[in-house]
Structure 1
Amino acid sequence: MTCILVTGSSRGIGAAIREQLEARCVKVIGHSTRGDDEAEIAADFSDPPAPSLLWEEAMRQADGQIDVLVNNAGLFDASDLDRSDIEWLDAWEETLRINLTATAQLSRFAVRHWQETGRSGRIVHVACRAGHRGDSPAHWHYAAAKGGMLALHKTIARAYAGEGIYSFAITPGFTDTAMAGDYLESRGGPGLLADIPLGRVAEPEEIADIATWCALDAPPSMTGATIDANGASYVR
């Protein structure tokens, strides 16, 4: 049975991904920051050893074989420019650690695992439109982290395709999740929809459709691809 590790699977996009993958009869190992659900491994990515501990426990639960890694966990907190230097830097470093460094750590563990076992594997990165077009003045760190995730994804795809290790990325725009809700409200709520030709934000299930397809069905020739899902608010 295919075994997939999904980070940030307790709510929003991650929960939708988990539900759709389980409907495809694969074994899903979930993760959340606090482990509120007994079925999820608790790991706080703001703590540097957490990704390693998560990987070790996931491998134990998977009986030593993980086939797909879905890097979905993320942090979206504003940090205004007029904060104190130390507050601004702390927010920057925490956002990059959770959104980018933890992703890199888990991706490294996955690549090495597949190299050691000689098996094919896939990584699906849930990035963001902000990685292409930037974000608000209070979200430099978030946009930088998501841009870094896209660069990481492309590097993995180019480096390891010949070994049967494939990388895919998804760049949602605004999605109807708890994480995005406060931001939507702070940016004018319904007024923000004027920037989205589709006229609405994405549903978590729409992003999960793409992630599930990348994890299980996308052809190997698509490795390195980034799939946009932003209602045409950013086209390239």
Structure 2
Amino acid sequence: MAIHIFATGTSRGIGNAILDRFGREDVKIVGHRSNPADGDASIVADLSDPTAPRRAWEQALETLDGRIDVLINNAGVFEAVSIDAPDAAWADAWSRTMQINLQASADLCRLAVLHFRRHGGGRIVNVASRAAYRGDSPAHWHYAASKAGMIGMTKSIARGYAAENILAFAVCPGFTMTGMADDYLASRGGDKLLADIPLGRVAQPEEIAETVKFLALDAPPSMTGAVLDVNGASYVR
């Protein structure tokens, strides 16, 4: 019986690589994007809307014949806000980042756990960030905080529901060659940032997708709660 997977944030970058990687496996996967695109069968939901996670989950369930075995939370935003910004702009930036990166992921994890409890278990893979552990730039406090929250949530799920065969893992990429990272590398001086990566290059989306695939399909149950770093040794724990 094919594994049924719902993955968020699959329109580009890491998410698109995840779709491609699972396309080579005996699985049925449905993706998600924020805006509609011609010829794309992904579920469309703007996760900045607090009602969107449930609607997306229910659409995924319908598409996947009422059963989801693996949830992959990859959707996220990486948007700068200066500490010198007006109070309202600062608060809006924090609210939007936390809603998309953390709250929507939490809502989907909750729905997944409730569903898995009725179907004998399942797996959650959360795509977090190196920033969860080492922080980020002065303009990205909120991004780092949201990803740290995702790690804490993943570990809590792993500890709380392992006895019910509900497993949770996280991946922490460093810089990855996506649209978000390209812009950031350019704005912060690419050569200087690359010098901080012992491997000498940023990760490719396909490397993150391979790690996600391992956790979703192959990782032994005793690995539940694990966080895998994929950052070229730019941060080691």
Code of the aligned partner of 1:62:
L
Aligned pair count reads: 235
Give TM-score scaled by structure 2 length. 0.98
Match of 2:42 in 1: 40
SS at match of 2:23: helix
Is 1:144 paired with 2:158? no
Structure 1 segments unaligned to the other structure (5+ residues):
none
Match of 2:91 in 1: 89
Is 1:131 paired with 2:132? yes
Q: In structure 2, what is the Cα distance between the partners aligned to 1:134 and 1:35?
A: 33
SS at match of 1:195: coil
Code of the aligned partner of 1:28:
I
Structure 2 segments unaligned to the other structure (5+ residues):
none
Query: How do 1:59-208 and structure 2 match up within 5 A?
Result: 59-117=61-119, 119-208=120-209
Deviation at 1:25, TM superposition (A): 2.1
Q: In structure 2, what is the Cα distance between the partners aligned to 1:43 and 1:89?
A: 23
Code of the aligned partner of 2:166:
I
Code of the aligned partner of 1:189:
G
Q: In structure 2, what is the Cα distance between the partners aligned to 1:19 and 1:220?
A: 25
Deviation at 1:9, TM superposition (A): 0.7
Q: In structure 2, what is the Cα distance between the partners aligned to 1:26 and 1:35?
A: 24
Is 1:51 paired with 2:62? no
Deviation at 1:230, TM superposition (A): 0.6
Q: In structure 1, what is the Cα distance between the partners aligned to 2:54 and 2:97?
A: 18
Deviation at 1:173, TM superposition (A): 0.3
Q: In structure 1, what is the Cα distance between the partners aligned to 2:121 and 2:20?
A: 24
Is 1:209 paired with 2:206? no
SS at match of 1:3: strand
SS at match of 1:9: coil
Which aligned segments of 4 or more residues in structure 1 are displaced greater than 6 angstroms?
Answer: none
Deviation at 1:116, TM superposition (A): 2.1
Code of the aligned partner of 1:57:
Q
Deviation at 1:180, TM superposition (A): 1.2
SS at match of 2:91: helix
Match of 1:235 in 2: 236
Cα-to-partner distance string for 1:147-194 (whole Å, 9 max, x where unaligned): 000000000000000000000100000000011111111110122101
Q: CA RMSD in A?
A: 0.7
Q: In structure 2, what is the Cα distance between the partners aligned to 1:154 and 1:26?
A: 26
SS at match of 1:95: helix
Code of the aligned partner of 2:227:
T
Cα-to-partner distance string for 1:55-99 (whole Å, 9 max, x where unaligned): 010010111100000000000000011110000100000000000
Q: In structure 1, what is the Cα distance between the partners aligned to 2:36 and 2:49?
A: 15
Cα-to-partner distance string for 1:117-170 (whole Å, 9 max, x where unaligned): 3x2200000000000011001000000000000000000000000000000100
Give TM-score scaled by structure 1 length. 0.98
Q: In structure 2, what is the Cα distance between the partners aligned to 1:138 and 1:184?
A: 14
Code of the aligned partner of 1:40:
S
Deviation at 1:102, TM superposition (A): 0.3
Deviation at 1:22, TM superposition (A): 1.4
